[in-house]
């Protein structure tokens, strides 16, 4: 197998023209086109029929992270504009929910558009929350290698950060959707089951699911579980290096409770991930479990970009049940109910999936880590699937159409 570090991103190119990128969502979520790949065969349907393509013993894993209004624009008295894009909390211990409930002030890692115009000690903006006028202030605390730490404070102090960002910001559409956010995006760039606030980009495979589809899944006795991965702006980070060894994979926070892990262990049928974020989360759980087998006394769990390709991990063969059971034992030993950590899991062609055997996902950008993941799932057949999608007028990227990919056994 080719070393993941030596994979050339130029081998994962296809011709994506601007007219194939969906700039707006369909009116009805579940009317997107659906490409089905199974046993080297490509079939086409409408997404509302997705339940008919899944066996009744399927466990579907969803990412329930909720997109925050991460894009906050300040206007100076001169008329010049500065945009502060919230990425993730600068200080976090064990819970995004605690950060979202903080009052008065918080510190976040941010990108700043137009930072050269920021000459003042702080920027100020007036917003409305529950008919109250709230004064919002932003101050740069320190520069980072990418972005800045910004302290955001507001008055009256009793409002939470979640309330403040909801009122002050705009939904952060991806950079390839070259338009301003519209009112409709507030609901459409959000899954119907979004719950845990923290993402700055939507887990877009889930955007296709409607209440009707969830009802159809239930009628077919298809089981659903929810994990959380807070999607960062790094999901759009292009691979600029020729080979993957010089590309730094973005790290994202995952949050999965013990009960969900136990339900995955006890499921005997097909496990399918809704979106690459759900897939990376459950595969991360496997490798964290392996780490606890190798070192039961480890105090902190984290999965680095190249960890899974370390010989100490890959040379030891453990089943999904063994690894996840060890992870639960580790949680119990440490008095924890949830896995809350960062993952940099990079899945490349040649990777053998440990838990997921099917993936529901959109069509991704050329030369991206997401396309590498798709190629890992279905091998060289990714080219046939993407060529079919192009020839049959599928819509691409976040607001585009979807695919259901069954991995080879």
> pLDDT by residue (tens digit) across 48-78?
999 999 999 999 999 999 999 999 999 988 8
Contacts for 367 with CB less than 8 Å, ≥ 6 apart: 9, 10, 12, 13, 238, 239
CA distance 103 to 208: 34
Output the average pLDDT for the chain.
94
CA distance 233 to 357: 27
Segment holding 371, helix H or strand E = helix 369-378
- Decide if pLDDT at 165 tops 70: yes
- Decide if pLDDT at 358 tops 70: yes
Helix (H, G, I), strand (E, B) or coil at 266: helix
Instruction: Note the pTM of the prediction, 2 decimals.
Output: 0.95
pLDDT tens digit string along 269-281?
A: 999 999 999 999 9
Quickly state the pLDDT bin for 200 (edges 50, 70, 90).
very high
Q: Where are the domains of the chain?
A: 4-66+188-406, 70-169
Half-sphere exposure of 74 (CA within 13 A, CB side): 23
Contacts for 301 with CB less than 8 Å, ≥ 6 apart: 288, 291, 292, 330, 339, 341
Nearest-Å Rg of the Cα atoms of the chain is: 21
Taking the alpha carbons at both ends of the chain, their separation in whole angstroms is 17
CA distance 133 to 119: 25
Tell me the DSSP string of 206-264. Answer: GGG--HHHHHHHHHTT-EEEEEEEE--GGGG----SSBGGGPPPPPEEEEEEHHHHHHH
CA distance 114 to 272: 42
Q: Which two tokens stand for residue 372?
A: 């590498």
- Decide if pLDDT at 315 tops 70: no
| Percentage of residues of the chain with pLDDT beyond 90 | 88
Quickly state the pLDDT bin for 234 (edges 50, 70, 90).
confident
**What does the pLDDT average to over 337-355?**
95
> What pLDDT score was predicted for residue 335?
95
- Decide if pLDDT at 136 tops 70: yes
pLDDT tens digit string along 239-262?
A: 889 899 999 899 999 999 999 999
Fold of 4-66+188-406: QueA-like (3.40.1780)
> What pLDDT score was predicted for residue 313?
67
Locus of tokens 């890959």? 314
Closest CA to 153 of 196, 123, 116, 133: 123
pLDDT tens digit string along 365-374?
A: 999 999 999 9
């Amino acid at each position: 197998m080719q070393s993941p570090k030596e994979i050339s991103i130029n081998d994962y190119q296809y011709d994506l023209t601007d007219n194939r990128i969906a700039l707006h969502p369909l009116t009805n979520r579940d009317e997107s086109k659906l490409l089905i790949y199974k046993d080297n065969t490509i079939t086409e349907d409408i997404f509302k029929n997705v339940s008919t393509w899944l066996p009744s013993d399927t466990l579907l894993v969803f990412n329930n992270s909720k997109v925050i209004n991460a894009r906050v624009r300040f206007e100076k008295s001169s008329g010049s504009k500065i945009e502060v894009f919230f990425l993730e909390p600068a200080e976090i211990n064990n819970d995004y929910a605690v950060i979202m409930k903080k009052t008065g002030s918080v510190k976040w890692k941010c990108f700043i558009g137009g930072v050269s115009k920021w000459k003042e000690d702080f920027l100020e903006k007036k917003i409305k929350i529950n008919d109250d006028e709230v004064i919002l202030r932003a101050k740069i605390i320190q520069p980072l290698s990418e972005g800045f730490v910004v302290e955001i404070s507001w008055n009256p102090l009793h409002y939470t950060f979640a309330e403040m960002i909801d009122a002050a910001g705009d939904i952060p559409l991806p950079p390839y959707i070259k338009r301003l956010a519209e009112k409709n995006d507030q609901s459409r760039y959000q899954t119907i089951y979004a719950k845990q606030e923290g993402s700055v980009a939507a887990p877009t495979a889930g955007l296709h699911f409607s209440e009707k589809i969830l009802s159809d899944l239930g009628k077919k006795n298809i089981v659903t579980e929810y994990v959380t991965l807070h999607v960062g702006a790094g999901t759009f980070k292009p691979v600029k290096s020729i080979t993957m060894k010089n590309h730094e994979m973005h790290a994202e926070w995952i949050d999965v409770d013990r009960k969900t892990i136990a339900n995955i262990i006890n499921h005997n049928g097909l496990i399918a991930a809704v979106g690459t974020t759900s897939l990376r989360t459950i595969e991360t759980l496997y490798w964290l479990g392996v780490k606890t087998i190798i070192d039961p006394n480890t105090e902190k769990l984290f999965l680095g970009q190249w960890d899974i390709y370390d010989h100490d991990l890959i040379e030891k063969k453990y089943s999904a049940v063994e690894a996840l059971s060890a992870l639960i034992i580790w949680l119990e030993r440490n008095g924890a109910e949830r896995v809350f950590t960062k993952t940099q899991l990079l899945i490349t062609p040649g990777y053998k999936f440990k838990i997921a055997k099917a993936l529901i996902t959109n069509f991704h950008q050329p030369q991206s880590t997401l396309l590498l993941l798709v190629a890992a799932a279905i091998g060289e057949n990714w080219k046939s699937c993407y060529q079919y999608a192009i020839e049959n007028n599928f819509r691409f990227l976040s607001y585009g159409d979807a695919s259901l990919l069954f991995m080879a056994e």
